[in-house]
Amino acid sequence: MKILLTGCRGQLGLALCQRLDGTPHSLVATDLHNLDITNSPQVDDCVRHEAPQVIINCAALTDVDACEQDEQQAFRVNALGPRNLAVAAQRIGAAMLQISTDYVFSGADDLPRREYDPVSPCNKYGQSKAWGEELVRGCNSRNFVVRTAWLYGEGKNFVQSILKAARERDELAVVTDQVGTPTSARDLSEAILRLIETREYGTYHAVNEGHCSRFEQAAMILTQKGIRTKLKPVDSTAFPRPAQRPAKVILENFMLDLSGIYRFRSWQEALAEYLNKQL
Ligand SMILES: NC(=O)c1ccc[n+]([C@@H]2O[C@H](COP(=O)([O-])OP(=O)(O)OC[C@H]3O[C@@H](n4cnc5c(N)ncnc54)[C@H](OP(=O)(O)O)[C@@H]3O)[C@@H](O)[C@H]2O)c1
């Protein structure tokens, strides 16, 4: 299958490039420097020229506070960008896979979220991603929308920030009131590959199994790496940020389980494997 990938230099983009390497699939990997997804004519030209069977959109504005401060740019990249790709894909009969986020939910209660639950974003990033989902569904009949959470792979992420900070300080304050599911970019790449090999279009939650608070995740990182830095539990009021974060969003992989397409391992198992490879 010929695959056009956007955002190939990001965490998930890199993991997908590695996963697809050595498979029979043919990959056209792009990023902002050669395909700006907000540029509709450029997207059209590229898609017509490359003629992929599927487009995987990993490009996004993922800085949640930057999205809050520049709503227009957030919607340009996270909503119009996916729309441009979905339209171009539809025109040539290609499928479109859009990556989305747990932040489309506000996390106001403890219930696990299924794919059919109504969205309720509490910040501009979540709103722009939710609208991106809608535009993709409306513009391409062969669409996959894959919502994930708390990604870590190669690049900037919470795991790397904790490792760096713990090596520089004796004590770290970490929040206990943000709960979610740390998800390996490597495992997510596997799920995406399984999905695009089907025609089972629709919305999927795709996270490692289980959930934890940021504090519990940090504790596991330090224990696993044998780092003795003390962790201090705090709540989110200790870190005022431009954008509000959802408190507790637990995505349930309901559609993946129902269809039997892919079963994720636990977040602890995936994180342990990742940490083993970190210096
Ligand atoms: N990271 C998380 O914890 C998380 C959680 C849930 C969902 N997600 C979703 O998962 C997907 C992948 O996230 P990630 O962590 O891999 O993101 P990432 O590391 O921030 O990578 C995003 C990539 O998109 C590129 N990009 C930005 N604007 C672009 C544009 N206009 N045209 C083309 N490329 C553009 C960026 O390039 P520059 O770096 O040059 O700007 C970067 O290479 C996103 O859809 C995100 O919303 C992420």
Quick one: pLDDT at residue 116?
98
| Ligand 1 midpoint to CA 216 (Å) | 25
Q: Give the angle 77-3-265 at the CA atoms, nearest 5°.
A: 85
For a substitution probing ligand 1, which of 151, 154, 160 has the most ligand atoms within 8 Å of its CB? 151
* Percent with pLDDT over 70 in the chain: 100
Ligand 1 atom with the shortest distance to the CA of 99: 45
Quick one: pLDDT at residue 75?
98
Q: Summarize the confidence of residues 223-234 as an average pLDDT.
A: 95
Neighbour tally for 19: CB within 10 Å = 19
Active site (annotated) includes residue 204: no
Quick one: pLDDT at residue 19?
97
Cα distance between residue 87 and residue 84, in whole Å: 5
- What would the pLDDT profile of 125-178 be if each residue is shown by its tens digit? 999 999 999 999 999 999 999 999 999 999 999 999 999 999 999 999 999 999
For a substitution probing ligand 1, which of 32, 245, 251 has the most ligand atoms within 8 Å of its CB? 32
Q: Summarize the confidence of residues 105-125 as an average pLDDT.
A: 94
- Which entry of 103, 125, 204, 274 is annotated as an active-site residue? 125
CA 210, 214, 216, 219 dihedral sign is positive
6 within ligand 1 shell (Cβ under 6 A)? yes
Mean pLDDT in the chain? 97
Residue 185 has pLDDT above 80, yes or no: yes
**What is the rounded radius of gyration, in angstroms, for the C-alpha atoms of the chain?**
18
Residue 279 has pLDDT above 80, yes or no: no
For a substitution probing ligand 1, which of 31, 46, 57, 203 has the most ligand atoms within 8 Å of its CB? 31
| Ligand 1 midpoint to CA 77 (Å) | 10
Distances (CA, A) of 179 to 176, 211, 214, 231: 8, 7, 6, 17
Quick one: pLDDT at residue 34?
96
Half-sphere exposure of 174 (CA within 13 A, CB side): 24
Q: Summarize the confidence of residues 173-193 as an average pLDDT.
A: 97
| 3-class secondary-structure state, position 206 | coil
Cα distance between residue 155 and residue 172, in whole Å: 21
Quick one: pLDDT at residue 278?
83
133 within ligand 1 shell (Cβ under 6 A)? no
